[in-house]
Amino acid sequence: MKKIMIDLDDTITTGGYLDIVNKYLNTNLTYENINNQYWVDNIIPKEKLTKYLNYLYNEINFYDYIKINDNAINVIENLSKYYEIFICSAYVDKRDLKNCANLIIHKYNWLRENLPFINPDNFIFTSSKNILKTDIKIDDRLSNLKENADLKLLITAYHNKNISENELKENNVIRVNNWNEIANILLKN
């Protein structure tokens, strides 16, 4: 059975931070004009950052604010019949090393609840995704698709829309816009 490593945030799910930031700052910001994944750093005023991170990691569950990408769950359940699925998700936030690990329990619980057909032994929580070798990788960050996979799929997200076809080609990465396109590639036989 071939192995697929699938990212969680902005791959299976979408959003989260924008709603949280809007609630925290009492703003109505939208994803338009946001093309950098680290945009939160620029939006939260420096003097409010410590308090915001405490709010993010100690007071709320990030996964109460996300949406699931269309058909992500169905497609992954189908894929799990033909491939061994690993979910790999980062949690380390260098701005708040003390509290960021609280994310792990929320990630774990969300995965158990929403992907009950995946063996929890196959949940991997790390930022060092490139050291892991699987046949196929699916992620929204090109930096996570550098090494150790035969087929690498970049799922379109607000922050990666401007990555050129050339750059993807150089990295041997194929862009997919949604989970139906992933199903078409991986379930066509």
CB of 11 to Mg ion, least distance (A): 5
CB of 143 to Mg ion, least distance (A): 10
Helices 46-54, 17-25: axis angle to 10 degrees equals: 120
Helix, strand or coil, per DSSP, at residue 68: strand
Q: Which stretch binds Mg ion (CB under 5 A): 6-14, 25-33, 58-66, 175-183?
A: 6-14
Instruction: Show the site string, 169-188: x = touches Mg ion by CB under 5 A, - = not.
Output: --------------------
Q: Nearer to Mg ion by C-beta: 48 or 161?
A: 161
Tell which one of 10, 57, 83, 138 touches Mg ion (CB under 5 A): 10
List, in order, residues 6 or more apart from 29 with CB less than 8 Å away.
18, 21, 22, 43
Tell which one of 4, 6, 7, 152 touches Mg ion (CB under 5 A): 7
Q: Nearer to Mg ion by C-beta: 15 or 71?
A: 15
Other beta carbons within 10 Å of 118: 19
CB of 141 to Mg ion, least distance (A): 6
Cβ–Cβ < 8 Å for 90, 125: yes
Task: Name which of 152, 188, 167, 180 is nearest 76 in CA terms.
Answer: 180
Characterise 26 by phi-psi region: left (phi > 0), alpha (psi -120 to 50), beta (else): left
| Total of chain residues touching Mg ion, rule CB under 5 A | 4
Instruction: Show the site string, 107-146: x = touches Mg ion by CB under 5 A, - = not.
Output: ---------------------------------x------
CB of 7 to Mg ion, least distance (A): 4
Q: Kindly tell me the burial class for residue 178, based on how many C-beta atoms sit within 10 Å of its own C-beta (0-12, 13-18, 19 or more).
A: middle
Site of interaction with Mg ion (CB under 5 A): 7, 9-10, 140
